[in-house]
Amino acid sequence: MTEQPAAPTSTGDAVVPPGSPGLENLLTEERRFPPSPEFAAQANATPDAYAWANADRPGFWADQARELVSWSTPFTQTLDWSDAPFVRWFADGRLNAAYNAVDRHVEAGHGDRVALHFEGEGGDTRTLTYADLQREVSKAANAFAALGVGTGDRVAIYLPLIPEAVITMLACARIGAPHSVVFGGFSAEALSSRILDAEATLVVTADGGFRRGKPSALKPAVDEALAKGAPSVSHVMVVRRTGQPVDWTDGRDVWWHEAVDAASATHAPVDVEAEHPLFILYTSGTTGKPKGIFHTTGGYLTQAAYTHLNVFDLKPETDVYWCTADVGWITGHTYVVYGPLLNGATQVIYEGTPDTPHRGRWWEIVQKYGVTILYTAPTAIRTCMKWGAEIPEQFDLSSLRVLGSVGEPINPEAWMWYRRVIGGDRTPIVDTWWQTETGAIMISPLPGVTETKPGSAQVPLPGIAADVVDDDAQPVPNGGGGYLVLTEPWPSMLRGIWGDPDRYKDTYWSRFRNIYFAGDGAKKDDDGDIWLLGRVDDVMNVSGHRLSTTEIESALVSHPWVAEAAVVGATDETTGQAVVAFVILRGDVAEGHAADAATVQETLRTHVAKEIGPIAKPRQILVVAELPKTRSGKIMRRLLRDVAEHRQVGDATTLADSSVMDLIAQGLATPAAASQD
Ligand code: WT7
């Protein structure tokens, strides 16, 4: 199935993606923040990198690959784009990702440096040095190998954010077994489809994790997923985290503390080719089926290390870095695991939520560890804004020197608040645009180099070619808007969709010829700087997480009460977008439950949580009698979005039956339909 974007609406020369009202005003933003001379003087990044990279893009990346990554067999070939859109970087080189992330730092005499400061939600802590990590990763690699996991086999990981998550990913990399991390908030159903698609042989999980002060079970979801049938899985390894009781399948289930603790602490990392798959990570597309984005080793590691070093200005000896993402997302892969560890950083990982046990928890952690670099999402910043500046103001945040933002466009007010309240008006802010598919940061200011603008990701990094184009792939002039594209291959580019090369070509490379279509709308300002405007396809962005409208619609119609469903992402002050669903109930059900919309809401929200995961739960479910459709039967989500955002409904002349919108608007006003959490 192809994934062509819905045509965005046009205002003059600007393409305005649906769901981004107000962002149009961004270009009137005139505040500028030049780097301070003190910061610039010590910055890793230098202005000449752009010209250097422009002069010879592959050569620039080859230099980074040699400098930042250790190769067991050095590469002689840099870029092979002859089979576009399938790319190969550094293809004749060989290396191991775990060796690069861990062992070489120990060999260089940094074994005593802290790699991970782990902070559990309940306040329990663990500190792992690089030497500790080398030992733990080696043991886990030996234990996995003893269970029959070999190079090339896939391992599914379903864990809370505890050190074992990082250790497991690195242990997989050490034996050349691609990992497929499934976010712990995903349902058994979602886990099952990912295990099946990747044909994982081992699943690594925990009894549970801590969420909002309570143990939250994980193992039952694995049992349920495997009960649906998973012929490839031979073992489940279980970390004891919460101590809650678990069902046990003898012969299949293995305790981590038995298998790993008993394993040998020496393990020789397996050399793999640069293009050996390092991991698969599933992400939502515009169709119901998640895409298994896969990344390979050499190019991915190169760009992960380069961007982490330059975008965050990392000084491994002195910085304490903290990225708040879970390893279930790409941000956690590249900027919790591979980027920081490749660069020998000391970092914090925190299991819990920002408000457990109190709303100052994050700032308490910054103060406690002296965090210098913080990387988080706009939704978190807006939540803290809502809680009030007086909370962070109770803590000493003076250690912070670089702040990062990722996941969705950051509105200028949140940017300013972040800089002023968290950064004490002194820290550079880097708004980093990238995707699961790009593997690493693509567009971002460079601290110490770029004069920043609140709300803009601004410039492609050295070695990256991005542009904003119109429907005919022509670059728009400054001041114009269109689609964000990437015009040259980059090292950490996705290598494909697992098992589905056609979908890879269709999704990213068919909209424009030999140009990567990102799915985002963007504008160029008068300086040519890039402002991201949100998705132009049926993908929503809720709290920086990608959700597919189609996937949630499928989940809704899989419930026996639902005849038809349409889902839109409505602008939400805190989460960026929120899921709003319109459902038509089956006749018999509609009769029986007409008086009890609250039950319908709750039942369907729970059902979506069960099918996909709590993150996909609609904020609001509206029961309607009709959905607005074109004469050809396509649901007009644009109109539903107007309703969901309480706007005057737009042009409805192409509707098969335009009275439908009146019915929906009236339905909105009835108390039964408007209830929500
Ligand atoms: C989509 C990718 C990359 C890690 C987190 C999300 C949106 C991401 C920004 C930003 C504006 C952004 C885009 C993109 N996005 N960062 N700085 N400014 N939009 O990864 O789940 O693959 O989602 O997130 O829409 O396409 P993902």
Read off the pLDDT of residues 400-430 as tens digits, 9 standing for 90 and up. 999 999 999 999 999 999 999 999 999 999 9
Ligand-binding annotation for 409, yes or no, is yes
Band (674; pLDDT cuts 50, 70, 90) = very low
Pocket perturbation via mutation, ligand 1, pick of 329, 434, 486 by most ligand atoms within 8 A of CB:
434
97, 117 Cβ separation under 8 angstroms? no
| Span from the CA of 57 to the centroid of ligand 1 (angstroms) | 24
In angstroms, the CA 73 to CA 423 distance is: 43
Ligand-binding annotation for 436, yes or no, is yes
Which protein residue's CA is at the shortest distance from atom 21 of ligand 1? 546
Residue the block writes with tokens 């000084």:
315
Please give the pLDDT value at position 121.
95
Band (592; pLDDT cuts 50, 70, 90) = low
Q: Is the CB of 375 under 6 A from ligand 1?
A: no
516 vs 665, higher pLDDT: 516
Which protein residue's CA is at the shortest distance from atom 19 of ligand 1? 408
Ligand-binding annotation for 283, yes or no, is no
Alpha-carbon torsion angle 456, 459, 464, 467, nearest 10: 80
Please give the pLDDT value at position 590.
65
Atom of ligand 1 nearest to the CA of 457: 17
Q: Which two tokens stand for residue 245?
A: 């009781």
* pTM recorded for the entire structure: 0.92
Atom of ligand 1 nearest to the CA of 437: 22
| 367-393: average pLDDT | 97
Atom of ligand 1 nearest to the CA of 444: 17
Please give the pLDDT value at position 433.
98
Please give the pLDDT value at position 677.
35
152, 172 Cβ separation under 8 angstroms? no
On the question of pLDDT at 4 being above 50, the answer is no
| Span from the CA of 545 to the centroid of ligand 1 (angstroms) | 8
Please give the pLDDT value at position 638.
85
DSSP string, 9-77: EEETTEEE-TT-TTGGGGGG----BPPPHHHHHH-S--THHHHHHHH-HHHHHHHHHHHHS--SB--S-
| Span from the CA of 657 to the centroid of ligand 1 (angstroms) | 36
Pocket perturbation via mutation, ligand 1, pick of 284, 408, 484 by most ligand atoms within 8 A of CB:
408
Ligand-binding annotation for 212, yes or no, is yes
On the question of pLDDT at 9 being above 70, the answer is no
Atom of ligand 1 nearest to the CA of 534: 25
Ligand-binding annotation for 386, yes or no, is no
Pocket perturbation via mutation, ligand 1, pick of 435, 453, 456 by most ligand atoms within 8 A of CB:
435
Residues 258-279 pLDDT 10s = 999 999 999 999 999 999 999 9
Which protein residue's CA is at the shortest distance from atom 2 of ligand 1? 435
Q: Which two tokens stand for residue 522?
A: 């963007």
Residues 294-328 pLDDT 10s = 999 999 999 999 999 999 999 999 999 999 999 99
| Span from the CA of 646 to the centroid of ligand 1 (angstroms) | 26
Q: Is the CB of 546 under 6 A from ligand 1?
A: yes
Pocket perturbation via mutation, ligand 1, pick of 406, 453, 507 by most ligand atoms within 8 A of CB:
406
| 551-570: average pLDDT | 93
Ligand-binding annotation for 407, yes or no, is yes
Q: Is the CB of 408 under 6 A from ligand 1?
A: yes
Atom of ligand 1 nearest to the CA of 535: 25
633 vs 77, higher pLDDT: 77
Ligand-binding annotation for 575, yes or no, is no
Which protein residue's CA is at the shortest distance from atom 14 of ligand 1? 435
Other CB atoms within 10 A of residue 181 CB: 28
Ligand-binding annotation for 273, yes or no, is no
Residue the block writes with tokens 């440096």:
113
Ligand-binding annotation for 71, yes or no, is no
If DSSP codes are grouped into helix, strand and coil, which group holds residue 493? coil
| Span from the CA of 455 to the centroid of ligand 1 (angstroms) | 14
Q: Is the CB of 181 under 6 A from ligand 1?
A: no
14 vs 304, higher pLDDT: 304
| Span from the CA of 595 to the centroid of ligand 1 (angstroms) | 41
296, 495 Cβ separation under 8 angstroms? yes
Q: Which two tokens stand for residue 362?
A: 């994050």
Please give the pLDDT value at position 635.
85
Q: Is the CB of 447 under 6 A from ligand 1?
A: no
Please give the pLDDT value at position 407.
95
Chain mean pLDDT for the chain: 92
Please give the pLDDT value at position 8.
39
Which protein residue's CA is at the shortest distance from atom 27 of ligand 1? 435
285 vs 553, higher pLDDT: 553
Other CB atoms within 10 A of residue 548 CB: 25
Q: Is the CB of 544 under 6 A from ligand 1?
A: yes
Q: Is the CB of 532 under 6 A from ligand 1?
A: yes
Atom of ligand 1 nearest to the CA of 539: 25
Please give the pLDDT value at position 6.
40
Please give the pLDDT value at position 18.
42
On the question of pLDDT at 449 being above 80, the answer is yes
| 365-374: average pLDDT | 98
Which protein residue's CA is at the shortest distance from atom 8 of ligand 1? 407
**CB-count burial class (<10 Å; 0-12, 13-18, 19+) for 153:** buried
Provide the angle, in degrees to the nearest 10, between the axes of the packed helices 219-227 and 188-198.
60
Q: Is the CB of 541 under 6 A from ligand 1?
A: yes
| Span from the CA of 406 to the centroid of ligand 1 (angstroms) | 7
On the question of pLDDT at 130 being above 90, the answer is yes
On the question of pLDDT at 52 being above 60, the answer is yes
Look at 164-178, 244-258, 620-634 and tell me which has the smallest mean pLDDT: 620-634
First and final CA of the chain: distance in angstroms? Answer: 36
Which protein residue's CA is at the shortest distance from atom 1 of ligand 1? 435
Ligand-binding annotation for 431, yes or no, is yes
| 188 backbone dihedrals φ, ψ, rounded to 5° | -60, -40
Q: Is the CB of 283 under 6 A from ligand 1?
A: yes
Residues 471-492 pLDDT 10s = 999 999 999 999 999 999 999 9
Residues 494-533 pLDDT 10s = 999 999 999 999 999 999 988 999 999 999 999 999 999 9
In angstroms, the CA 620 to CA 437 distance is: 30
Q: Provide the residue type at 83 as one letter.
A: D
